[in-house]
Amino acid sequence: MSDNAVIVIGGGINSLGIIRNIGRIGIDVISIVDKVEYSGKSRFCRSVVINPNLYKDTNSLIETLQNVSGKFQYHKYILMPVSDGILQLLALNMQKLHSKFLLNIPDVETVDTLIDKGKFYSLLRELKIPHPKAFFPNHEESLESLSGKLSFPMFLKPNKSHEFRARFNGKKGFTINNLSELREKINLTEEFSIQVMLNEIIPGHSNNHYFIDGYCDVKGEPKAIFARRRIHMYPLDWGNSTSMVSISPDQIKPAINDLNKLLRKLNYHGIFSAEVKFDDRDNTYKFIEINARSWWYNMFPSICGINIVKMLYDDLALGYTEKIDNYKENKYHVYFWPEFLSLTHMIMKKENKILDLLREVKFSISSPLFAFDDMKPFIRNLFEWSVRKIENQFKFNY
């Protein structure tokens, strides 16, 4: 038993990555989830606490944390949220937590700025940082006034992603092809009091997407920058990365410079993951969003030699963390099944020639789910997937 423990709040790929990043170096990890799922099956997870009201009741989360500290008696507990909803709950309630619970997340105002796309894009405009054109239609009159400014197709997405995904079964947003569709979707989102924004769609292949992950210590000092380029994603239009490659930050220096400007403005501290897309119409890197927390592929930088999750642990538990400037470049990370789906759908839609696609395919044992030394999460995930397929088939036949 280690002197300190990490509490991962939430499940899924993000949680599994944190568990492995920390568990493999001998630190105990406790997982708090709302239901039994695959990340808690990791051999590196000491205990799983199930709270069905995790995402619904703020007081319930605080009570669960207090119960965990009473049960396990560690010296310190380092909290790591894996979703925007939990991040926001913790930012709002840090004062209610016992001093043995340690967090390195931004303050409430910064969290809200990064989660709320309206506020985020306003900050980007203030700092003159490139971003996609964005409009914020709120009612019928504003739609009419916007009609001459819009160039369809466009993408309608929420100001706060986690609220939208919870309501619309994990969707990131809606592709809008005309004013009539826009009016229909606006009415739908207004039924649920969800504020939305309308983004231009930046043309270009999925490999024009770049991600900049890193860590700023409790004093706001940047300690790590890790850059990666997306190769494929699924779903094809507005999905998550399925394959990627590590690159040098120098390859996207303008984006790195803009990110540093943004972090300084926010007096940022904690883990971050920024998404940008290169726009070859004007040769700029346009910022799409920044996550103020850990992200799905947090194992990838560790595989390349820079364990960002451990850096946060060291900073909070030990009081220091070393700056890391170098990591392995041109390494690949592949999420096998979604990558297969991505390739299959690109072939079916004839978006790419088969030979071109085959040249893009990179085989790697580096994966966010599969691990030779930790097979149970993969097996459990396969089981969960099979159950969903059987249930859907039953519903269809019925």
Identify whether the C-beta of residue 298 lies closer than 8 Å to the C-beta of residue 307. Answer: no
Quick one: which of 275, 273, 331, 322 has its CA closest to 302? 331
Among 103, 118, 144, identify where a domain stops: 103
For residue 272, give its domain range: 206-360
- Please provide the average confidence, as pLDDT, over all residues in the chain: 89
Quick check: is 270 in a domain? yes
In a domain, 373, yes or no: no
* 335 found inside a domain: yes
Strands 332-334 and 240-247: antiparallel
Half-sphere exposure of 102 (CA within 13 A, CB side): 20
Q: Are 139 and 86 in a shared domain? A: no
Considering the domain architecture, whether residues 246 and 312 belong to the same structural domain is answered as yes
Q: Is 180 exposed, middle or buried (0-12, 13-18, 19+ CB in 10 A)?
A: exposed
Name the phi and psi angles at 36, rounded to 5.
-65, 130
Instruction: Give Cβ neighbours of residue 121 (< 8 Å, ≥ 6 apart).
Output: 131, 134, 197
Judge if 244 and 270 occupy the same domain: yes
Q: Is residue 33 part of a domain?
A: yes
Q: What is the pLDDT of residues 201-229, one digit of tens each?
A: 898 888 899 999 999 999 999 999 999 99
Do 89 and 144 fall within a single domain? no
| CB-CB contact of 133 with 139 (8 Å) | no
**Last residue in a domain, options 200, 232, 257:** 200
Which is more confident, 386 or 363?
386
Mean pLDDT across 354-368: 69
The distance of Cα 97 from the centroid of its chain, to the nearest Å, equals 25
258 shares a domain with 241 = yes
Distance CA(71)–CA(386), nearest Å, equals 35
- For the chain, give the number of residues: 398
232 lies in the same domain as 351? yes
Q: Rounded distance, CA 23 to CA 284, Å?
A: 40
Q: Are residues 11 and 87 in the same domain?
A: yes
The amino acid at 360: E
Among 303, 357, 368, CA closest to 331: 303
Is residue 43 within 8 Å of 27, Cβ to Cβ? no
Mean pLDDT of 10-14: 96
Instruction: Place 395 in a pLDDT band, splitting at 50, 70 and 90.
Output: low
**pLDDT value of position 248:** 97
| Residues 276 and 240 placed together within one structural domain of the fold | yes
Asked whether residue 388 is assigned to any structural domain, the reply reads: no
Query: What is the mean predicted confidence (pLDDT) over 50-77?
Result: 90
pLDDT of 183 > 90? The answer is no
* The total number of structural domains that make up the chain: 3
Residues 164 and 190 in one domain: yes
Closest Cα partner for 17 from 295, 354, 382, 253?
295
Q: What is the mean pLDDT of residues 23-41?
A: 96
Task: Please tell me the predicted confidence (pLDDT) of residue 356.
Answer: 61
Task: Mark residue 35 as left, alpha or beta (left: phi above 0; alpha: psi -120 to 50; beta: remaining).
Answer: beta
On whether residue 293 sits in a domain, the answer given is yes
Q: Please report whether residue 393 resides in a domain.
A: no
The dihedral through the CA atoms of 167, 168, 170, 171 has a sign that is: negative
- Which CATH number does the domain housing residue 91 bear? 3.40.50.20
Query: Are 182 and 236 found together in one domain?
Result: no
pLDDT at 397: 45
Q: Are residues 210 and 274 in the same domain?
A: yes
Mean pLDDT of 356-381: 82
Annotate 356-395 with DSSP letters as a single string: HHHHH----S--SS--TT--HHHHHHHHHHHHHHHHHHHH
CATH code where residue 192 lies: 3.30.1490
Last-in-domain residue among 176, 200, 224: 200
Please confirm whether the linkage preceding 338 is cis (ω < 30° from 0): no
Q: 66-104 burial, b if ≥16 CB within 10 A, otherwise e?
A: eebbeebebebbbbbbbbbbbbbbbbeeeeebeeebbbb
- 49 vs 65: CA distance, rounded Å: 10
Claim to verify: residue 292 and residue 181 sit in the same structural domain? no
282 domain residue, yes or no: yes
CB neighbour list of residue 313: distance below 8 Å, 6 or more residues apart:
4, 6, 22, 27, 78
